[in-house]
Amino acid sequence: MDIKIKATTLFILFSLLFLAASPITVEGAAEHAGHHQGDPEAENELQDGQISAAVGILLFGVFAGVIAGAGSAQLFKNRFTNSQLIIIGLTTITAVIHLFLGFSGDLLLLLNGFGYFALLIMIFAPIEPLAPYRKMLLWGLLVYTGITVTGYFLTHYGQTDGLGLGTKLFEVLLVRMVLVETAKV
């Protein structure tokens, strides 16, 4: 079996397993909070569960981004520069995290994740009619990411969380890499 097929199959299986198990953890933690309000030990367990879920989501996003970047390098040998592969990876990380949280019930995050993937495809897929607009689409990704980061801090003023801040770190790196890439185009 070809290495690309093995990696893709492994990624799909891991994704399905993670997506199947994680909502149970998040919902279970929320239900647990409702039954044990005022119990300090139960609240500590809830916080531990939320931290575990957040770390899992973040690691899943990173895993997806690494697979996307490495997979793109393998599938399209010599077609992408290193900065483009990094953009693919970082965009995939943030898109997967937003999609995962969006599928947990937040429509805005769901749409945000789909928006990242749509821009990623329009920028890097070999779609000939879009080729002349590549630099404009890169600027669109930059603005889109800036709006996402700004929106997070406006809606989470004073109550940021590790998952959100971790995602914003990847998005700030994405902005930096897009700036590097637009200087080349």
**Each residue's pLDDT tens digit, 24-67:** 344 443 443 344 445 455 444 445 555 556 666 767 677 777 77
Q: Where are the chain's structural domains?
A: 3-184
pLDDT for the residue numbered 20: 46
Question: Across all residues in the chain, what is the average pLDDT?
Answer: 75
pLDDT value at 177 more than 90? yes
> CA-to-CA distance for 132 and 147, rounded, in angstroms?
24
**What is the residue-wise DSSP string for the chain?**
--HHHHHHHHHHHHHHHHHHHHHHHHHHHHHHHHHSTT-HHHHHHHHHHHHHHHHHHHHHHHHHHHHHHHHHHHHTTTTS-HHHHHHHHHHHHHHHHHHHHHHTT-HHHHHHHHHHHHHHHHHHS--GGGGGGHHHHHHHHHHHHHHHHHHHHHHTTT---HHHHHHHHHHHHHHHHHHHHHHH-
More confident residue, 60 or 90: 90
pLDDT value at 86 more than 80? yes
Confirm if 112 and 102 have CB atoms less than 8 A apart: yes
Tokens of 155: 């809606």
Backbone φ, ψ for residue 36 (5° rounding): -125, 35
**Each residue's pLDDT tens digit, 128-169:** 899 899 999 999 999 999 999 999 999 888 887 888 888 898
